[in-house]
């Protein structure tokens, strides 16, 4: 049977049309944010520069693509339609009359749908792993910078130890099928996922120590929600069955957090050492505040500017790390639609077909570019203050 094709221009229009929920959501959010930018603080200031608008738009584009993936993608990312094997862009699938907009890959799956679904994997793991890395880095970096001395030397030595590992070697050692049989990933997850609970408990405890009615509520909530998520993620024993993570995804997650938290630690430590010499810290010390109150409520809020910028860059960097893992076929399932795996599959066949390689590469590049532009715009804004 002969496959029919639509023209290049029609393909282009087709792609634009498939993204309609994304355009709609972006239009609403961006117009609203632009009109109320005076009242939105740091986020609103982003709309003052072209770079900022570009960064925000790209990030929102991928965010909404991930949210509306089921609406945007015409096909299932894993389903194979044999006749469409290596189909060129714009091929019409005979049964459903839907179009393979970016063609088919060597297993006859729709490249466009895979790219769209791939965004979900990246946009769930990358920000979440960055958030955990931030928690670990902050919780350890604050005391290291504030107290100095032995604690600092010890923690810095540990951080340098991890940083001295080339990332790729770390991944080859930590993300292998064999290691899932050992308790190591779970032990590491158990340690890392404890940090958010410690962080928020200390945060609320130091602030509301003298106000029992608030503290019991907040601490209770933290422990309840934290414990629930913790049970679901580490022991895979969520009593309600909502929170669940595959063993290999947990493995990737832990490896990525492990690789990027020393970087956060260093930045937080440096910022803390700088900020602790300020007058308001001395004032708080004179008031007799506890060290942890000073660290969490005096130093941390004043370090937020560089930390937000770093978080943006770090999400991009984590995306690159995930791509690296996918590219080497580590951790993620071989049929997973994430961008790194797709690039790996396509790059082996570049001599015969180039169309399956381009969508995931451009997707990954544009998302990281968006985050970097966002970080740059945020840095410019915080310099102005």
Partner 1 sequence: MLSFISRRLGTMALTMLCLTLVVFFLINLEPNLRKLAISQTEMRTTSDQLESWLQRNGYRQNFFIRYGQWLGVVQKQPNIDPATGQAVPRFRFCNEPAVPTYSGILQGDFGCSTKFKTPVATKLFPALGATGILMFWVLATMVPIALLIGILAGMREGSRTDRTLSIASIATTATPEYVSGVIFTVIFASWLGWLNGSAASASQGITFYNFTLPVMTLAIYGIGYIARMTRASMVEVMTQQYIRTARLKGLSFGNVVVKHALRNALIAPFTVIMLQFPWLLTGVVIVEVMFRYQGFGYTLVEAAGNNDIDLLLGCSLVSVFIVLITQLISDVGYAYLNPRIRVQ
CB of 277 or CB of 352, closer to partner 1: 352
51 vs 308, beta carbon nearer partner 1: 51
Give the integer Cα–Cα distance in Å for 80 and 97: 15
Shortest gap between Cβ of 140 and partner 1 (angstroms)?
A: 18
Least separation in angstroms between CB 237 and partner 1: 24
Interacting residue ranges for partner 1, rule: CB under 8 A: 51, 157, 160-161, 163-169, 172-174, 176-179, 181-182, 184, 316, 320, 323-324, 327-328, 340, 343-344, 346-347, 350-351, 354, 357-358, 361, 364-365, 368-369, 371-373, 376
Q: Please, what is the minimum distance in Å from the beta carbon of residue 276 to partner 1? A: 22
Closer to partner 1 by CB, 3 or 358: give it. Answer: 358
Q: Give me the residues paired with residue 91 across strands.
A: 5, 100
Give, for 99, the enclosing helix (H) or strand (E). Answer: strand 99-100
Distance in angstroms (rounded) separating the CA atoms of residues 44 and 35: 9
Smallest distance, Å, CB 177 to partner 1? Answer: 8
The residue among 23 and 172 lying less far from partner 1, judged by its C-beta, is 172
Tokens 């945007």, residue? 72
- Is the CB of 202 or the CB of 382 nearer to partner 1? 382
- Minimum distance from residue 129 beta carbon to partner 1 (Å): 17
53 versus 163: smaller Cβ distance to partner 1? 163
Which one, 30 or 54, has the nearer CB to partner 1? 54
Residue 41: both structure tokens together: 């603080």
Shortest approach of partner 1 to residue 130 CB, angstroms?
16
Name the minimum Å distance from CB 325 to partner 1.
11
Residue 252 · residue 175 · CB < 8 Å: yes
Annotate 17-44 with DSSP letters as a single string. Answer: HHTHHHHHHHHHHHHHHHHTGGGSHHHH
Residues whose CB is less than 8 angstroms from the CB of residue 218 and which lie 6 or more positions away in sequence, other chains included: 204, 208
Considering the complex, state which of residue 161 and residue 217 has its C-beta at the smaller distance from partner 1. Answer: 161
Query: Residue 15 burial by CB count (10 A; 0-12/13-18/19+): exposed, middle or buried?
Result: middle
Contact criterion met (CB below 8 Å) for 255 and 332: no
- Minimum distance, C-beta of residue 76 to partner 1, in the bound complex (Å): 25
In the complex, minimum distance from the CB of residue 363 to partner 1, in angstroms, rounded to a whole number: 10
The Cα 153–Cα 159 span in angstroms is 10
Give dist(CA 361, CA 358) in Å, integer.
Answer: 5
Which pair of structure tokens corresponds to residue 40?
């939105």
CB atoms within 10 A of CB 213: 7
By CB atoms closer than 10 A (0-12, 13-18, 19+), residue 315 is buried
How far is Cα 346 from Cα 369, in angstroms, rounded to an integer?
Answer: 22
Residue placing its CB nearer to partner 1 in the complex, 11 or 222: 11
């Amino acid at each position: 049977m002969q496959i029919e094709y639509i023209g290049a221009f029609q393909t282009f229009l087709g792609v634009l049309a498939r993204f309609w929920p994304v355009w709609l959501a972006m239009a609403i959010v961006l117009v609203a944010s632009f009109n109320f930018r005076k009242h939105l603080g740091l986020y609103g200031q982003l709309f003052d520069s072209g770079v900022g608008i570009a960064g925000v738009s790209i990030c929102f584009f991928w965010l909404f693509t991930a949210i509306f993936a089921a609406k945007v993608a015409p096909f299932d990312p894993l389903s194979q339609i044999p006749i469409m094997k290596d189909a060129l862009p714009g091929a019409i699938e005979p049964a459903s009359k839907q179009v393979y907009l970016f063609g088919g890959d060597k297993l006859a799956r729709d490249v466009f749908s895979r790219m769209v679904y791939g965004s979900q994997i990246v946009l769930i793991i990358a920000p979440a792993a960055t958030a955990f890395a931030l928690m670990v880095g902050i919780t350890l970096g604050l005391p290291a910078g504030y107290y100095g001395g032995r604690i600092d030397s010890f923690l810095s030595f540990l951080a340098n130890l991890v940083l001295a590992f080339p990332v790729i070697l770390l991944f080859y050692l930590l993300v292998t099928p064999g290691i899932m049989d050992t308790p190591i990933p779970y032990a590491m997850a158990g340690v890392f996922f404890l940090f958010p609970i410690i962080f928020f408990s200390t945060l609320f405890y130091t602030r509301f120590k003298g106000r029992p009615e608030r503290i019991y509520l907040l601490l209770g909530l933290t422990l309840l929600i934290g414990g629930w998520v913790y049970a679901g993620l580490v022991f895979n024993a969520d009593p309600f069955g909502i929170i669940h993570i595959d063993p290999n995804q947990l493995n990737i997650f832990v490896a990525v957090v492990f690789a990027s938290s020393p970087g956060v630690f260093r930045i937080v430590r440096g910022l803390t050492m700088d900020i602790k010499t300020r007058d308001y810290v001395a004032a708080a010390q004179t008031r007799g505040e506890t060290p942890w109150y000073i660290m969490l409520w005096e130093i941390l809020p004043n370090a937020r500017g560089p930390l937000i910028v770093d978080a943006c860059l770090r999400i991009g960097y984590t995306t690159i790390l995930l791509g690296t893992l996918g590219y080497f076929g580590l951790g993620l399932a071989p049929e997973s639609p994430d961008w790194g795996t797709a690039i790996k599959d396509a790059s082996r066949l570049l001599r015969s077909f180039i169309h399956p390689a381009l969508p995931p590469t451009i997707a990954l590049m544009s998302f990281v570019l968006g985050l970097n532009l966002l970080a740059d715009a945020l840095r410019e804004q915080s310099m102005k203050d």
